């Protein structure tokens, strides 16, 4: 078998998320698998580095697929980009070692959340960033973000249903930058639970609006109470980078 590593960008606005679902064909994974299956004439399954929720975007999602056929990398990339919807692009295809696994070999991930922090809307980014009209207090947001860094039980910041899986994750860094009207929040960690980034960002926004104190984040983490965290919309969130 020939193992191909795919680097994928997508606008998740009109999709039900990354993961293939039985009740809809409107997923990123499903669209890519359909095109690959047409290319080789049989059903193909791909392995993604992880799921993204409905409406979430990706700048560099990673997947791998094993094909019996030995195809040139550029052939696979060109075929995919010819037949995929225009809001999904395969930016790179590499033939890799048979042992490469997009999910199991992922070491850490970086998510980017974009906030448009002006009193007026941004017509060009309204579907790709969250509009917060009131000026956010960046110093308070940065203070609150430090409580997330390190290894914690993130039960309070997840909607994950499974009680068997560990809720402990390690957040390596949170970077908050202001640039031309945008506030960019980058969160790097060894893994993320369902809705975790969106609940973290929603809570940071509440702090920036003066609706919470920064030190409340520490109490929320310790409480394991899922009803306390804020929640940010999906359309401002991007899977930015995966390290292997």
List, by residue number, the catalytic residues.
Answer: 53
> Cβ(67)–Cβ(47) under 8 Å?
no
- Please report the DSSP string for 100-149 in residue order: --TTTT--EEEEEEEEE-SSS--TTTTTTSEE--SPP-HHHHHHHHTTTS
- Please report the DSSP string for 173-215 in residue order: EEEEEEETTEEEEEEEES---TTHHHHHHHHHHHHHTTSS-TT
Element (H, E) at 73: helix 73-83
- At residue 220, the 3 state secondary structure works out as helix
Which residues make beta-bridge pairs with 96?
Answer: 3
Residue 183 phi, psi dihedral angles, 5° rounding: -110, 120
Angle, alpha carbons 208-209-213 (nearest 5°): 65
């Amino acid at each position: 078998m020939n193992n191909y590593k795919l680097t994928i960008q997508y606008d998740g606005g009109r999709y039900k998320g990354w993961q293939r679902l039985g009740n809809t064909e409107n997923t990123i994974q499903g669209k890519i698998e359909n095109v690959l299956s047409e290319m080789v004439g049989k059903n193909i399954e791909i392995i993604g580095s992880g799921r993204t929720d409905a409406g979430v975007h990706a700048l560099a999602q990673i997947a791998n697929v094993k094909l019996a056929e030995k195809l040139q990398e550029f052939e696979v990339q060109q075929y995919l980009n010819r037949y995929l919807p225009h809001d999904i692009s395969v930016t790179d295809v590499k033939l890799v070692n048979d042992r490469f696994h997009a999910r199991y070999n992922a070491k850490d991930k970086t998510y980017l959340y974009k906030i448009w922090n002006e009193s007026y809307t941004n017509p060009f980014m309204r579907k790709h960033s969250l509009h917060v009209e009131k000026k956010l207090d960046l110093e308070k947001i940065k203070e609150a973000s430090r409580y997330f860094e390190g290894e914690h039980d993130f039960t309070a910041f997840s909607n994950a249903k499974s009680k068997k899986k560990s809720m402990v994750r390690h957040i390596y860094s949170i970077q908050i930058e202001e640039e031309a009207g945008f506030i960019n929040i980058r969160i790097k960690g060894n893994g993320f639970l369902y809705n975790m980034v969106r609940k973290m960002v929603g809570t940071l926004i509440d702090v920036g609006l003066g609706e919470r104190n920064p030190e409340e984040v520490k109490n929320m983490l310790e409480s394991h109470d899922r009803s306390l965290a804020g929640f940010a919309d999906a359309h401002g969130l991007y899977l930015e980078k995966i390290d292997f």
